[in-house]
Amino acid sequence: MRTHFMDVVGEAIRSWPTTIRLCVIIVVAVTMIIYFYLMGVPALPGLMK
């Protein structure tokens, strides 16, 4: 089900420069790594030092 809101969001994402999308991906990845670290899951071996 595609709504008008989803179309607007999709168009905004497609119109963004690649650098901004990369920054968003990096922020999400860092957030996930911190979440796993706080939960005690060794997501990255070097992170548990």
Q: Within a 13 Å sphere around the CA of 30, how many CA atoms are in the beta-carbon half?
A: 6
Which pLDDT score is estimated for 34? 84
User: In the chain, what is the straight-line distance between the N-terminal and C-terminal CA atoms, in Å?
Assistant: 46
Which pLDDT score is estimated for 42? 59
Which pLDDT score is estimated for 11? 82
Query: Residue 11 is encoded by which pair of tokens?
Result: 């168009």
C-alpha triplet 7, 12, 13: angle, nearest 5°: 100
Q: Give the single-character DSSP code of 42.
A: -
Task: Round to whole Å and give the CA distance between 32 and 21.
Answer: 17
Which pLDDT score is estimated for 49? 52
Domain boundaries, the chain: 16-40
| Each residue's pLDDT expressed in tens, for the chain with a length of 49 residues | 567 887 887 887 777 777 777 788 889 999 988 887 787 765 556 555 5
Which pLDDT score is estimated for 45? 60
Which pLDDT score is estimated for 27? 92
